[in-house]
Structure 1
Amino acid sequence: MDSGPQATKVSALAVAAAACGWRSVRMDYRDLDAHGLAAAVAPRIARLRAAVPRDARCVLVGSSFGAFVSGLVACDRAVAGVFLLATPPLIPGYAQAFALPEGTPACLVHGWRDEVCPVEAMFNVARAYRAEMLLLDDDHRLGAHVDIIAAQFARFLARIAA
């Protein structure tokens, strides 16, 4: 929420993806967010699920609410990996907790000082799924580390491509 497809992080990640030979599609959910946090989950999931190609390698990327949605969609769509930033373990008012697909490469990026999604909950997620986790001295927006996150994303894509 409160972000769109031209935001700083998503733009930097799109540049990193292009440099690695990947094409990016930036989802825009802003029209759905007016319904409120919990009410926006199912329509976001449906929109992303419809956009995930069934016949191409795909990596889902998201930040905060977008990370939550990407993780859930990856559980029922075959994807090559997930790269998720500042992920909430649950969305208040939404019945399903965050999940990742078993065996799918995953990288979780989180800020030590995340005031919205405390890092402790994501330790448990990373442990349960044996996901790679990058912890940064940053807050929920991770704005002070965009270059580091983009470099980590490029390394993640290179491992998937190998």
Structure 2
Amino acid sequence: MMRGHCILSHGFESGPDATKVTALAVVAEHYGWTCERPDFTDLDGRREVSDLGDVAARLERLLGLAQAAAAKGPLVLAGSSLGAWISGHVSLQVPVAGLFLMAPPIALNAAHPIDAAMVPTSIIHGWDDDLIPAGDVINWAHMRRASLLLVDDGHRLSENVDTSAEAFAALLAKL
């Protein structure tokens, strides 16, 4: 029985076959969710916001995919780093059942803070993230009453792929 659809967005220096996104896809399918992993790598050559590629084009691509998916049933957006940032912003424009954010940038820069719909949200973040201070993520999660798991890891969460998958499974199990 299909429960809904998940769109799993990779980070800036990653791709749709990245280890974390692949692990989330396995979890989604196990719990009866279909999923897709859009490829944003073709957008990385252009620089428009903080040397992170064409963020507006990423938002536009994810928004189109999310609108189509949400029209068919429940939708969960998940993303890592820049993928988390765009997932949050798209959730403000498309009804989503939940959000799963890994190493979410609280701000790309002062003019571009993260924002997201007030839906069930689960976050995993590394204590030793050298790009996004854990304290900023704690404060943002606190304001939203989001589930937050802090792990002994850095920005890539490479030592916690299984832990990320387990946290994603916990979110899907609640929905």
TM-score normalised by the chain length of structure 1: 0.93
Give 1:54 shift: 2.9
Q: Which has the higher helix share?
A: 1
Distance in 2, matches of 1:65 and 1:30, equals 12
Any gaps of 5 or more consecutive residues in structure 1? none
Segments of structure 2 that go 5 or more residues without pairing to the other structure are 1-11
* Partner residue in 2 for 1:87: 104
The answer on 1:158 being equivalent to 2:173 is: yes
Alpha carbons 1:37, 1:91 under 8 Å: kept: no
Shift, 1:37, TM fit:
5.5
The structure 1 residue matched to 2:19, chosen from 8, 28, 32, is: 8
Answer yes or no: is the 8 Å Cα contact 1:17–1:24 preserved in 2: yes
Aligned-pair identity (%): 42
Alignment of 1:135-154 (within 5 A): 135-154=150-169
Match for 1:47 among 61, 83, 91?
A: 61
Runs of 4+ that moved beyond 2 A = none
- Higher strand proportion, which one? 2
User: Structure 2 CA distance, aligned partners of 1:20 and 1:3?
Assistant: 25
**CA-based RMSD:** 1.2
Letter in 2 for 1:43: A
Residue of structure 2 in register with 1:123 after alignment: 138
TM-score, length basis structure 2: 0.87
**Separation in 1 of the partners of 2:47 and 2:36?**
24
